[in-house]
Amino acid sequence: MQKLLVCYKWVLDEQDIKITGDLSLDTSRAKYKISDYDKNAIEAGALLAEQHGVNVEALTFGTAAAKQSLKDALSRGLDKVYWIGDAVAEQADAFVTANVLAAAIKKAGQFDLILCGEGSADSYSQQTAPRLAALLGIPAITFVQQLTVTDGQVTATRKLGDCTEEVTVTGPAVISVLPEINKPRIPGLKQVMGAAKKPSEELAVADLGLAAEALAPKVRSLSVKGYVMDRKKVIFKEADQADNVAKLVASLAQAGLC
């Protein structure tokens, strides 16, 4: 194993998004961050790079705002970041994103493993990694909660509902990881300062040789609404716990929930 790549997305911080009276989203004061799921992918790549003494690079595709992510990404153990800032990303779905990432990867060079988060914190379509693997013509392993690499063999434990599956594949491959695979590091001052000295390279969509149809999304988002859950907020205060359980069951039955 010589070189790793991590794909990540620069997204709005959901903590800063406000739901207005008509359930529309107010993002006027929202800051951006690396998608939480992608932080797990970056950490997985950084740990593998440290274990095997290889380079780990990253690739991100977004609007011009994606440039703001570079310092944070590089402070998390990466050696280099490729970034693509283009207005086409504003409406890009998984189809467009995978096309752009695949073309950029072919331009950037060969990688033994390509790591992604299982989904992004905004759309969470879970399609980008499998699409990317198909475009590159290499295997994809999804829902990975444990990952090891030995002598070029990738062994991954996949979480599938109420069971797990162990898969072994020889790289190159695309791996999408679950949040439970690790706990992302919090960069210290030394890492943040060091990130400024690490290289980054801008790639232009126009230079990737993609046809117009490859940049035309299959799915378009017309609007996004907040979701408000109406709770009954029934409280049972009986001293006898058995009475509380009986009343809870009766209340659920009356509501047709059991």
pLDDT of residue 245: 85
pLDDT at 244: 82
Q: What is the pLDDT of residue 215?
A: 96
Q: What's the rounded Cα separation, in Å, for the pair 167 and 75?
A: 31
Please give the average pLDDT of every successive group of 10 residues along the chain, which has 258 residues. Answer: 93 91 89 96 97 96 95 97 96 96 94 95 91 96 95 92 93 94 96 96 96 94 82 77 83 80
pLDDT on residue 241: 78
Q: What pLDDT score does 43 carry? A: 98
Residue 59 CA to residue 83 CA, distance in Å, equals: 6
Question: CA 222, CA 70: separation in Å to the nearest integer?
Answer: 30
The span from the CA of 138 to the CA of 153, in Å, is: 14
Report which of 169, 143, 167 is spatially closest to residue 156, judged by C-alpha positions: 167
pTM summary value: 0.87
Q: What does the alpha-carbon distance between residue 161 and residue 163 come to, in Å, rounded to a whole number?
A: 6
Question: Which residues, other chains included, contact 192 with Cβ-Cβ below 8 Å and sequence gap of 6+?
Answer: 71, 75
DSSP code, position 174:
E
Tokens 């009766």: give the residue.
250
pLDDT at 236: 80
User: Which phi and psi (to 5°) does residue 222 adopt?
Assistant: -85, -35
Helix axes 128-136, 94-108, angle to 10 degrees: 40
CA dihedral 6, 12, 13, 18 (to 10 degrees): -160
